Amino acid sequence: MAERVVLTIGTRKGVFVADAAKPRRSFALRGPFGPGVPVYSTLIDTRGTPLLYASSCNPFFGMKVLRSKDLGKSFQEAKSAPAFPKDDGRALINIWSLEPGAGKKELWCGVEPASLFRSIGGPEYLAAILAQIVAAGRDAEVDAIPIANDRVHAHPAGTRLPLARVFMVADALNHFGTTTHRPALHAESRRMGGLDWARRTATGHRHTAQ
């Protein structure tokens, strides 16, 4: 099978998928998929058989995760999505970020109000992808989750926060602490091959627009 280039595009009206032959002379556009609500994050998971994910942020019916097993020809709602436990007292407002984690099964999800969710993995991985809160910050939302090796950096979104913001950083055992030192993010980025987060995004296979 000829190699294809797949691009996922999150918009306020759903997720679009563009694909092209490897020379990228022209893209075919499919979509929008989903119920016509904002998609703030998409993910092309190439750790096994490629899976496409999209956050579907529905102000009427709540937050969902869409998944495609056929490279974006169709999307289905995953059977579970991040949710706070009832006694937590908080409700999800948006899903801002989806990132692959360690191994072939782990998936991370940054949300508003500021919390990180992690997939529970195991045989139910394909159905119940997100279940566990692993960290909660003081700020409004978790926007980006750069991950390198087995370390996770999560930082709140910049749009509503001052530059001196709090970053959540995990060690190899996913013990989270907080720091205000952005250089830690760049140090980790160098371990990813010298790319900072912006360049990593620009050279990755993901694009999110509103």
Residues interacting with another protein, by CB under 8 A? 59-62, 79, 83-86, 88-92
Phi, psi angles (nearest 5°) of residue 11: -135, 175
- Exposure class string for 171-189: b at 16+ Cβ within 10 A, else e: eeebebeeeeeeeebeebb
Cβ-based nearer residue to another protein, 111 or 185: 111
For residue 40, which of 80, 85, 96, 100 has the smallest C-alpha distance? 96
Shorter beta-carbon distance to another protein: residue 59 or 177: 59
Between 141 and 188, name the residue whose CB sits nearer to another protein: 141
Q: How far is the CB of 193 from another protein (least distance, A)?
A: 39
The alpha carbon torsion through 164, 130, 132, 208 (nearest 10 deg) reads: 0
CB 68, min distance to another protein, A:
19
Tokens of 195: 């790319």
State in angstroms the smallest separation of the CB of 38 from another protein.
Answer: 13
Smallest distance, another protein to C-beta of residue 91, A: 4
- Which of residues 91 and 187 has its CB atom nearest to another protein in the complex? 91
